[in-house]
Structure 1
Amino acid sequence: MKQYVMGLDNGGTMTKAALFDLKGNQISAFSDSTPVETPKSGYTERDMDLLWESNLLCMKGAVENAGINPADIIGVSVCGHGKGLYAWGRDDRPACRGIVSTDTRAWEYTERWYKSGVFDHVYGRICQKLMPCQQAALLAWLKDHDRDTYDNIKWVFSVKDYIRFRLTGEAYCEATDISGSGLLNVRDKVFDRELLESYGIGEVFEKLAPLKYSYDLCGTLTGEVAERTGLLEGTPVAGGMFDIDACAIAMDITKPERLCTIAGTWSINEFIAEEPVLHGPVAMNSLFAIPGYYLIEECSATSAGNLEWCMEHLIDFHGMLEGESKYNFLSRQVQSVLPEECDVYFLPFLYSSNAHPLGKGSLVGLTTYHKNPHIIRAVYEGVVYSHKTHIDKLLKVRGKPEAIRMAGGVVNSPAWVQMFADILGIPIETIKAKELGALGCAMAAAVAAGSFSDYEEAARNMVHVEKKVMPDMEKHKIYMKKYAKYTAVKEALDMAWPLFTV
């Protein structure tokens, strides 16, 4: 009897469900857009009930598209974007709208904690820099600005812990997500009331569900979920993980010498290590999906999500060929201009900045000479330069890898993947899988079900490298001159951003 596992991936803008066999072959998938609203500048929110309905729709669609016996599905697991806040109320309803990881409303709280010494006091325990989109800052903001909502919170969830709770009715905080929230004592792997009191939110200690790991059994599908999705009641549900851990697992980042980059809404750049990297250039250490390892991460919401906004509001698609996709058109436009012919620079800070916290998306260097292809190339390059900013910090604390494994929407654009290789000066490897996040959490379901003893064995069976893209070192030299200009523009504008608001 052939067996299957399902992975649910809750990203910043899309929900996806995919079914895989135990060789890593994707059998079926279904996706649905999950609208994000911006009621004010710096606020990004979504309807938690609508998100739940989207997950049910995707699960049902994946099962129907697969045409298999639901009894052969041996487990389900969930991943999702990190940071943000999905709070469940004491009235057994969402306590407020879900807050997405691109939200910056709480920026003043992290700035205050840095200046007042709070960060220095907690850093040895949290092992990471504080960010406005983390649950610690968002809960402090809620306490001051919406006390009724704050007091009504029963459980503090990440997006995937919220969805898993709705699937099973059992509340847990899974380690990879909660260890990036600012709420967990990462050093000791425990919840710490004094840590929370340092932020002024000591009462949150009672709102934190028990800690679980990604491959732990965290309940089974309820009868209601089974009825609405076509899966069987009682199907085991594993803990799941932060989507960047899921993508890392799906790229076989199971050894410290490997490094990966994920280009989606967020620029995620990471490797694993047996000890956290403290007091250096690296921003984030969190607990990895493999026990005994930390995920060493450099990240910001400055990646390919910027292109989606530009496609809707900025880029002119006049001249598309009949039957041509928008993405093929963009690649053709980028390739029509050589790197040395485009002296326009894009700061991919539409959602957040990896420079000044108030940094904004910007195009610099435009003249009447420049046309649509120059703007598109500048956007593509700016995203890669932002990744390079993070990867350079990682390379200060580890050796250069033989190759960087890559995931995210960018891998669907050969021209963009080649640009990553050329700018970084390192080969890029892509994985033979369409939905890496879903694959990674499906691997958790397979380990939880006992099909594999651990993630290393799961990766040997379910992860397959598709291709390796080599860098053009002559273009690398050109890009390094341009990267110096990009950096100069970014640093010069840091002086202006304090005049702006969120």
Structure 2
Amino acid sequence: MKQYVMGLDNGGTSTKAALFDLKGNQISVFSASTPIETPKSGYTERDMDLLWENNLLCMKKTVEIANINPGDIIGVSVCGHGKGLYAWGMDDRPAYKGIVSTDTRAWEYTEKWYNNGVFEQVYERICQQLMPCQQAALLAWLKDHNRDVYDNIRWVFSVKDYIRFRLTGEAYCEATDISGSGLLNVRDRVFDRELLECYGIVEVYDKLAPLKYSYDLCGKLTDEVAVKTGLLEGTPVAGGMFDIDACAIAMDITKPEQLCTIAGTWSINEFIAEEPVLYGPVAMNSLFAMPGYYLLEECSATSAGNLEWCMENLIDFNGMQKGESRYDFLSRQVESVLPEECDVYFLPFLYSSNAHPLGKGSLVGLTTYHKNAHIIRAIYEGVVYSHKTHIDKLLKVRDKPDVVRMAGGVVNSPVWVQMFADILGLPIETIKAKELGALGCAMAATVAAGRFADYVEAARHMVHVEKKVMPDMEKHEIYFKKYKKYTAVKEALDIAWPLFTV
């Protein structure tokens, strides 16, 4: 009898359900989008009930497409975007809209905590920088701006903990997500009342559900869920994980010497270690999906998501050939210009900056000579340079890896993957599975169900390298010189960005 596991991946805009066999083959997938609402500048929210209905829809459709016996599904797990806040109320309803990780409404709270000494008080316990999109800042904002909502909160959830709660009726905080919230004492792996007192939100202590790990059994599908999805009541549900952990697990990042990069909306660059790195260049330490390890992360919303906006608002597609996709057209344009022929630089800061906090997306160096192809190449290069900025920080605290494993939308562009290899000067490996987040949390389901002993064993069966791309070291030298110019442009503009707020 063939067995299957299901992974649910709840990103910032879309939900995907994917079904895998125990060899890691993707059997079926279905996705649905939950619209982002922006009622004010800096706010990014979505309807929690609609998000839940979309998860049920994706589960149902994925099973229907696979045309398998639901009894052969041995487990389900969930991953999702980190940060943000999905609060459940005392009235057994969502306490507020779901707040997404791109929300910046609480920026004044993190700024205040940096200026008044709170950050210094909490840093050695939380092991990470403070961010406006973390639960700590968002809860402090709610306490001051919407006290009725704050007082009504029963459980403080990340997105995937919320979805798992509705699948099972059991409330837990899973370690990978809650350790990036600012609410957990990451050093000691416990909730800490004194930590919450530093933020002025000590009431939250009783709203934090018991701590679980990614492959812990965290309940079973309820009868209501079974009726709406076609899965069986009682199907085991694993704890799941932060989506960047899920992608790392799906790339078999199970040893400290490995390093991976995820190029999607966010530039995620990470490795695992047995101890956190404090007072160094690395901004974020959180608990990894494998107990006993920390995830060391350098990230910002400066990756391939910039291309989507540029495609809609900046790039000219008039030269597309018959039958050519937009992405094939972009690749052809990039290849039509050699790197040394393009002295235009793009700062991929349309959503946020990994330099000056007020930095904006920019094209620098344009003249009447430059054409559409130069702009497209500059966008592609700028995204990779932004990743390199983060990876260089990681390499200050560890040895250079033999290879970088890569995930995200960029892997669908061979030209872009080659550019990553050339600019980093390192081989790039991509993985066969397309829905890596869903695969990673599905691997958690196999461990929770007792099919594999741990992630190392699961990876031996379910993770398969599709391609290894070697760097062109002659181009690496050209790109290295260009990266120095990119950095100079980025730093020179630092003095200008504060003027944009006047």
TM-score, normalization by structure 2 = 0.98
Q: Distance in 2 between matches of 1:346 and 1:112?
A: 32
Shift of 1:167: 0.9
Alignment of 1:193-342 (within 5 A): 193-342=193-342
1:469 equivalenced with 2:435 (yes/no): no
Q: Distance in 2 between matches of 1:482 and 1:114?
A: 34
Q: What's the counterpart of residue 359 of structure 2?
A: 359
Contact 1:107/1:357 (<8 A) preserved: no
Aligned residues: 502
Shift of 1:463: 0.5
Write the letter of the residue equivalent to 2:431: I
Q: Distance in 2 between matches of 1:286 and 1:112?
A: 23
Q: What's the counterpart of residue 401 of structure 2?
A: 401
Write the letter of the residue equivalent to 1:11: G
Q: Distance in 2 between matches of 1:501 and 1:223?
A: 53
Write the letter of the residue equivalent to 2:375: I
Deviations 1:207-245 (A, max 9, x none): 111111000111111111111111111111000000010
Write the letter of the residue equivalent to 2:187: R
Deviations 1:2-24 (A, max 9, x none): 10000001112221111111111
Q: Distance in 2 between matches of 1:310 and 1:96?
A: 33
Q: What's the counterpart of residue 389 of structure 2?
A: 389
Shift of 1:429: 0.4
1:70 equivalenced with 2:89 (yes/no): no
Q: What's the counterpart of residue 108 of structure 2?
A: 108
Deviations 1:370-415 (A, max 9, x none): 2222221111111111110100000000000000000011100000
Secondary structure class of the residue paired with 2:15:
strand
Secondary structure class of the residue paired with 2:480:
helix
Mean Cα displacement is larger for which, 47-56 or 238-247?
47-56
Q: Distance in 2 between matches of 1:347 and 1:37?
A: 26
Q: Gaps spanning 5+ residues in structure 1: where?
A: none
Deviations 1:119-158 (A, max 9, x none): 1110110011111111111111222222222222211111
Secondary structure class of the residue paired with 1:466:
strand
Q: What's the counterpart of residue 349 of structure 2?
A: 349
Q: What's the counterpart of residue 35 of structure 2?
A: 35
Shift of 1:501: 4.6
Shift of 1:41: 2.8
Q: What's the counterpart of residue 375 of structure 1?
A: 375
Q: What's the counterpart of residue 168 of structure 1?
A: 168
Contact 1:300/1:352 (<8 A) preserved: yes
1:125 equivalenced with 2:125 (yes/no): yes
Q: What's the counterpart of residue 91 of structure 1?
A: 91
Mean Cα displacement is larger for which, 407-416 or 309-318?
309-318
Secondary structure class of the residue paired with 2:332:
helix
Deviations 1:320-356 (A, max 9, x none): 2222222111111111111122222111112211112
Contact 1:259/1:403 (<8 A) preserved: yes
Write the letter of the residue equivalent to 1:36: I
Q: Distance in 1 between matches of 2:387 and 2:378?
A: 14
Q: What's the counterpart of residue 429 of structure 2?
A: 429
Shift of 1:495: 1.8
Q: What's the counterpart of residue 61 of structure 1?
A: 61
Write the letter of the residue equivalent to 1:55: N
1:187 equivalenced with 2:195 (yes/no): no
Q: Distance in 2 between matches of 1:311 and 1:392?
A: 29
Shift of 1:176: 0.3
Secondary structure class of the residue paired with 1:58:
helix
Q: Distance in 2 between matches of 1:313 and 1:97?
A: 29
Distance 1:61 1:13, change over 3 A: same
Q: What's the counterpart of residue 451 of structure 1?
A: 451
Q: Distance in 1 between matches of 2:309 and 2:277?
A: 34
Q: Distance in 2 between matches of 1:397 and 1:129?
A: 17
Secondary structure class of the residue paired with 2:495:
coil
Distance 1:364 1:41, change over 3 A: farther
Alignment of 1:463-502 (within 5 A): 463-501=463-501
Shift of 1:52: 1.2
Secondary structure class of the residue paired with 1:17:
strand
Write the letter of the residue equivalent to 2:413: S
Secondary structure class of the residue paired with 2:401:
coil
Write the letter of the residue equivalent to 1:435: E
Q: Distance in 2 between matches of 1:358 and 1:88?
A: 33
Secondary structure class of the residue paired with 1:494:
helix
Deviations 1:458-480 (A, max 9, x none): 00111111111011111111111
Q: Distance in 2 between matches of 1:260 and 1:164?
A: 27
Secondary structure class of the residue paired with 1:119:
helix
Shift of 1:421: 0.5
Write the letter of the residue equivalent to 1:207: K
Q: Distance in 1 between matches of 2:345 and 2:421?
A: 19
TM-score, normalization by structure 1 = 0.98
Shift of 1:497: 2.2
Alignment of 1:144-163 (within 5 A): 144-163=144-163
Q: Distance in 2 between matches of 1:490 and 1:285?
A: 26
Q: Distance in 1 between matches of 2:245 and 2:272?
A: 10
Q: What's the counterpart of residue 3 of structure 2?
A: 3
Secondary structure class of the residue paired with 1:475:
helix
Contact 1:221/1:234 (<8 A) preserved: yes
Q: Distance in 1 between matches of 2:319 and 2:219?
A: 53
Q: Distance in 1 between matches of 2:239 and 2:197?
A: 28
Secondary structure class of the residue paired with 1:381:
helix
Deviations 1:260-288 (A, max 9, x none): 00111111111111111111000111100
Write the letter of the residue equivalent to 1:94: P
